[in-house]
Structures are given as C-alpha cells and as structure tokens.
Amino acid sequence: MPQDFTLHTHTIGCDGKNTPAEMVARATELGMQAIGISNHFIVHPKIRESNFYPHAVRGGYSQIYSASFDEIMARFVPIYQEIERVAKNAPIRVLRGLEVDFFPDDKWRQNFERAIGVLKPDYLIGACHFIEYGGGLRNVHDMANANPEERAHMLNAYWGKIGMAAESGLFTWMAHLDLPRKVGVGIGDEWRIREYDTIAKLAKNNTPIEINTALQPMPYPSHRILQMVARANLPVLISDDAHRVEQIGRFFDSAEQLCTQVGIKNRLSLQKILDFSNKTL
Ligand SMILES: [Zn+2]
Ligand SMILES: [Zn+2]
C-alpha cells in the first residue's frame, strides 16, 4: 500500500484548478486517510518588479505573489475558512498547510510568525522558488537563461537558501529540493558537494524532505540526492503537488519503489507531522 495521505496540494484561490471540496472528494475516493491543502505563501516587496512577473500575469496566476503580509493575509483568511468549513463535513481528515517561500531576513520572519499566529496552519512546507540575486528576485527560468557564471552564482545562492531554511527550524519539511532541475539546471556532478552540504544541514536540523512526483520520469529530488538522504537517514514523505483532482496520488507507487531502491527507511508518518506541528506551531 503506498502512502495513504497527501499534504502538498493547491486549490483555486491559489494556482490550483479545483475547490477544497473537490480535492477532498477525490482523496476520499482514492482511499486516502488525510489530505492537506498547502497553497503558496509567497511575500516579497520586490515581487512585481521581477522578470517572471509579467509571465505570471499572462498565465493568470499572478495572485499567488504578494508584495506585503497584509495583502497575503487578506487572501488567505477566506481560503482557510473555506478549508475549515469543508473539513467539518469531510469523511477523511483535512489539514491546513502552507507552501512557504522562505526569505532569510529578520523582518520577514517577524511578519511570518505574526501571520501563522493568525492562520494557525497544521504544518509548513518550506520552499525556494525564488532567490535574491543582482538586486532583484530570480527564479529557475532566470537561471536557465543566465550565462554559465551567473547561473552558477544563482545555483549556489539557491542551495544556500535551502540550508538556511532548514536552520530556521520553521518547516515541517522541505519541498522539491532540486527545483532547478525542472529547467535542466544543476544536474552536473560538480554540484554533488553543494548538495551534500545542504543534506548535512537538513540532517543536523532534523528537517525532513519530500519526494515530489510532479516532475517525471524522475521526481524531485534526483537519485544522487536521494542516496545522500538515505545515508543521512532523513525522514521522507511523498507529495504529488496536485494542482487539480486528477493529480492527487500521482505516481505514488513508483515513488514507493524509488524509496526501496535507494534504501530510504525513515518515512515521515502523518502522526509525526502532527506531533511536529503541535510542538512548533
Ligand atoms: Zn512548489
Ligand atoms: Zn506546490
């Protein structure tokens, strides 16, 4: 039996295509014992000045980016109320999460802690979709378009930020560790040491990771990283990163096989996630 809960999912109000009620109905149909909705929590004062922002506007998902905490809270409060409402009548457990873009500065952290004090999420997924570079925000597409030297600087900043997110102690687990692989960046063997350092930081701070089946045929993170994860005995869970009902539980079977193949034995249970959250949130 593959993992029977899914906690990394997105709904309308964010960049997902279905309502919380539709997502819960599908998870129930698949025999899941729990589903968590974890919409993007991305706040940065310069977010609208970035290269990617016009693409997000054209793609119709720019609402997921906020320039202030007040702005994001106004958006999240009704989303959380709706999830709460659906949870009350659901036959399975429904949790409220956030997929958070971490920014390593004191002001961000202060505001973030204020926000989670209001929202009271059940768990927090740490993510790094953006890095601060050259005075602005950059994403993986900027990395792909950069010259090799700049790309290497950005990728270094990326791994540095994953390490800092682990050290922050804020996150229940880290999402899609090697996200730049989405655009073919960071694949070379020269990145092994940087990845190894980051896994060591995650292990030191006891921060779990996910196998994210949205990328196929090889999910995040790579085989190379998963072997390090297995050796460090980091706890692992499987995420589908579903943005629509059809994606719930996608490739969970092959992700289970992958765990066996690379020797991952430490699996993050739903109970451990809830225990972690009770302790820190
Ligand atoms: Zn993500
Ligand atoms: Zn996601």
Distance from C-alpha of 128 to C-alpha of 99, rounded to nearest angstrom: 10
Ligand approaching nearest to the C-alpha of 179: 1
Q: Minimal CA–CA distance to 91: which of 36, 39, 27?
A: 27
Centre of ligand 1 to C-alpha 175, Å, is 6
pLDDT of residue 106: 96
Return all residues near 261 (Cβ < 8 A) that are at least 6 apart.
none
Cis peptide before 217 (omega within 30 of 0): yes
Largest CA distance in the chain: 54
CA distances 228 to 72, 77, 212, Å, are 36, 39, 16
Protein residues within 5 Å, CB atom, of ion ligand 2: 99, 241
- Where residue 111 falls among pLDDT bands split at 50, 70, 90? very high
Share of the chain above pLDDT 90, in %: 95
Centre of ligand 2 to C-alpha 165, Å, is: 16
Distance 159 CA to ligand 2 centre (A): 18
Q: Specify the DSSP class assigned to residue 82.
A: H
Per-residue pLDDT at 279 exceeds 90: no
Give 274's pLDDT tier (boundaries 50, 70, 90): confident
What is the pLDDT, as a whole number, of residue 141? 95
Distance of alpha carbon 260 from alpha carbon 238, whole angstroms:
13
| 5-280: CATH number | 3.20.20.140
Render pLDDT for 55-105 as a digit per residue (tens, 0 to 9).
Answer: 999 999 999 999 999 999 999 999 999 999 999 999 999 999 999 999 999
Ligand nearest to the CA of 242: 2
Is the distance from CB of 45 to CB of 67 less than 8 angstroms? yes
Residue range 46-62: mean pLDDT, rounded: 93
CA of 14 to the centre of ligand 2 (A): 10
The DSSP bridge pattern shows strands 131-133 and 65-66 to be: unpaired
| Weakest mean pLDDT among 124-128, 159-163, 183-187, 271-275 | 271-275
- What is the 178 CA–ligand 1 centroid distance (Å)? 11
Q: How far is the CA of 193 from the centre of ligand 2 (A)?
A: 26
Q: What separation in Å is there between the alpha carbon of 242 and the centre of ligand 2?
A: 7
Ligand 2 mean position to 98 CA, how many Å?
Answer: 9
How far does the centroid of ligand 2 lie from the alpha carbon of residue 261, in Å? 25
Range scoring the smallest mean pLDDT among 1-5, 29-33, 243-247: 1-5
The pTM (predicted TM-score) of the whole model is 0.97
Rounded to whole angstroms, the Cα distance separating 137 from 150 reads 14
According to DSSP, the β-strands at 34-43 and 5-6 are: parallel
CA atoms within 13 A on the CB side of 239: 29
pLDDT digit string, tens, across residues 131-184: 999 999 999 999 999 999 999 999 999 999 999 999 999 999 999 999 999 999
- Proximal ligand: closest to the CA of 174: 1
Contacts of residue 202, Cβ cutoff 8 Å, sequence gap at least 6: 162, 163, 166, 174, 208, 209, 232, 234
**In this structure, which ligand is nearest to the CA of 98?**
2
The bound ligand whose nearest atom lies closest to the alpha carbon of 16 is 2
pLDDT for residue 277: 75
The helix (H) or strand (E) run that includes residue 111 is helix 106-119
Using the mean position of ligand 2's atoms as its centre, give its distance from the Cα of residue 248 in Å: 12
For ligand 1, the distance from its centroid to the CA atom of residue 241, given in whole angstroms, is 7
Label residue 125 by pLDDT band (50, 70, 90): very high
pLDDT in tens, 195-244: 999 999 999 999 999 999 999 999 999 999 999 999 999 999 999 999 99
